[in-house]
Amino acid sequence: MRYLPLTPDDRAQMLGVIGAPDIDALFKDVPAAARRKELFDLPKRAGELEVERELSGLAARNRPAGAGPFFCGAGAYRHHVPASVDHIIQRSEFLTSYTPYQPEIAQGTLQVLFEFQTQVAALTGLDVANASMYDGSTACAEAVMMAQRVTRREKAVLSGGVHPHYAAVTQTIAHAEGMHIHRLPAAIDAEAAVIDAIDADTACVVVQTPNVFGVVTDVSRIAEAAHAAGALLIVVTTEAVSYGLLKSPGEMGADVAVAEGQSIGNALNFGGPYVGLFAAREKLVRQMPGRLCGETLDADGRRGYVLTLSTREQHIRREKATSNICTNSGLCALAFTIHLSLLGEAGLRQLAALNHSRARELAGALKGTVEVLTPRFFNEIAVRVPNAAKVVEDLLADGIVAGVPYSRLDPHAGLDDVLLLAATETTTSEDIAALSAALKRRLA
């Protein structure tokens, strides 16, 4: 077997050194009733060629986003990732290492994490960021739990513009910790209703911008209202490229910013692995979840990096931990950092401007055919079409993946006529023309 270096001869010699008659002797602590004599009812070993054949066959039964006009967003975005990113993350030293427990021989990973934390703090306009979370949705739930620790209050107000999956994950996870989640009704301009829902029991207010319908909001007034009530403002972003064009959460008064970082450096991957971003004001640092990398000196006075403030973590505090993340999204964070290093400030601004421009082109092309519901958007719009789910199915016949029907995310919101459409730098004018023509035809 190609992954197993021991030969039958090696095994015999090693058993001799151990003083065991056979391999079964090493499994003698397993109760006899539980020792399976027969092989499990599964296929036997296969060579590379055979495995490749099966998986390529499965992959061929999917329609990749890049195969034609494609407009899905709603929390995952198709962007172009430079070839050098994937090359670097496949280097053995990054791919086949683990959490940097021994800093002397993990400075590569640690310096990357320090760069990542600094980049995320800069993007979000906040002071400190952690070394990544599983994804944006779990980062959102963790932020709500952090607000509970900070304020010792148990109510979270969620805007109706928060991605329904994020709301569901927060409901599941933060509720397990004793939080009461007050989710406002879904609506295009849901942010307008947030301020009235804040009261003296509110630990935090969770607002997404651009929201799930694509609407960009200045949350400054919500920040003021939250702070006046002694609550934290958590700003969620599912499209990290938007940081290159829009005012940052920190500039608008957010205490915590969480985001899905997939857009930068990472492929769509059918939903995962992705990388959650988590940033906060400095005074909250000891209540933050996740790993943190900090700068220090070695015994010879040379600068280096270590994992720090680890007393927050489960391996020390056990049942009193503020964080229960062990393995998280290291390699996805590396991809994020490399891609953002390639972009730089100029490139990110250009990329964001290009995304916004494509979305303007899309909105302009569809106006007249459908009602565009999103007044101010970054790269995603909501449009009104009767039975959006059916429209999406119908347009498949034209070779077009026409976005995400909102009802797929939130079946009971009564918004069956809302279709979410995203455009990125990968969207061409031809794609937009094809969608526009097909919609016109289908709706005629």
- Which residues 260-299 are close enough to bind another protein by CB under 8 A? 260, 267-273, 275, 285-286, 291-299
Give the DSSP H or E segment for 203.
strand 202-208
Q: How far apart are CA 305 and CA 126, in angstroms?
A: 21
Least distance to another protein, CB of residue 227, Å: 19
Q: Which is nearer to another protein, 204 or 334 (CB)?
A: 334
- Looking at the Cβ atoms of 200 and 320, the one nearer to another protein is 320
Distance in angstroms (rounded) separating the CA atoms of residues 169 and 138: 7
- By CB under 8 A, which span of 122-130, 191-199, 226-234, 433-441 interacts with another protein? 122-130
In the stretch 423-442, what mask flags binding to another protein with x, by CB under 8 A? --x-----------------
Whole-number minimum distance, CB 154 to another protein, in Å? 12
Q: Does 8 bind another protein (CB under 8 A)?
A: no
Shortest distance (Å) from residue 8 CB to another protein: 11
Closer residue to another protein, CB minimum distance, 232 or 268: 268
Number of residues binding to another protein, judged by CB under 8 A: 205
State phi, psi for 181 to the nearest 5 degrees.
-100, 120
Out of 193, 310, 416, 442, the residue judged to bind another protein by CB under 8 A: 310
- Which of 211, 237, 329, 427: binder of another protein (CB under 8 A)? 329
Of residues 197-256, which lie at the interface with another protein (CB under 8 A)?
A: 216, 218, 243-248, 251
Structure tokens at 415: 């918004």
Which residue type sits at 229? Answer: A
Within 341-370, the residues that bind another protein by CB under 8 A are 341-351, 353-354, 356-357, 360-361
Give the Cα separation of 103 and 113 in Å (integer): 12
Query: Is residue 361 exposed (0-12), middle (13-18) or buried (19+ Cβ within 10 Å)?
Result: middle
Least Å from the CB of residue 110 to another protein: 9
**At closest approach, how far in Å is the CB of 38 from another protein?**
9
Beta partners for residue 204, in sequence order: 156, 232
- Which of 276, 211, 277, 243 lies closest to 409, judged by CA? 211
Q: Which stretch binds another protein (CB under 8 A): 112-120, 185-193, 223-231, 380-388?
A: 112-120
Give the residue with the Cβ less far from another protein, 15 or 197. Answer: 15
Considering only residues 46 to 85 of the shown chain, the ones binding another protein according to CB under 8 A are 46-48, 50-52, 54-67, 70, 72, 74-76, 78, 82, 84
| Order of all β-strands in the sheet with 418-422 | 371-372, 380-384, 418-422, 404-405
Asked if residue 165 binds another protein (CB under 8 A), the reply is yes
Q: Please, which residues have CB within 8 angstroms of residue 418's CB and are 6 or more apart in sequence?
A: 188, 213, 373, 382, 383, 384, 388, 405, 406, 407
Nearer to another protein, 194 or 280 (CB): 280
Q: Which of 235, 240, 332, 366 binds another protein (CB under 8 A)?
A: 332
Q: Determine which residue in the list 192, 197, 321, 413 makes contact with another protein, applying CB under 8 A.
A: 321
Task: Provide the H-helix boundaries in 301-405.
Answer: 314-317, 330-366, 388-396
User: Which of 21, 26, 367, 443 touches another protein (CB under 8 A)?
Assistant: 26
Task: Name the DSSP class of 401.
Answer: B
| CA 439 to centroid of chain Cα atoms | 31
Q: How far is CA 363 from CA 132, 251, 378, 423, 436, in A?
A: 34, 28, 11, 10, 10
Query: Of residues 104, 196, 199, 371, which one binds another protein by CB under 8 A?
Result: 104
Tokens 């990968």 locate to 426
Q: Are 232 and 219 in contact (CB under 8 A)?
A: no
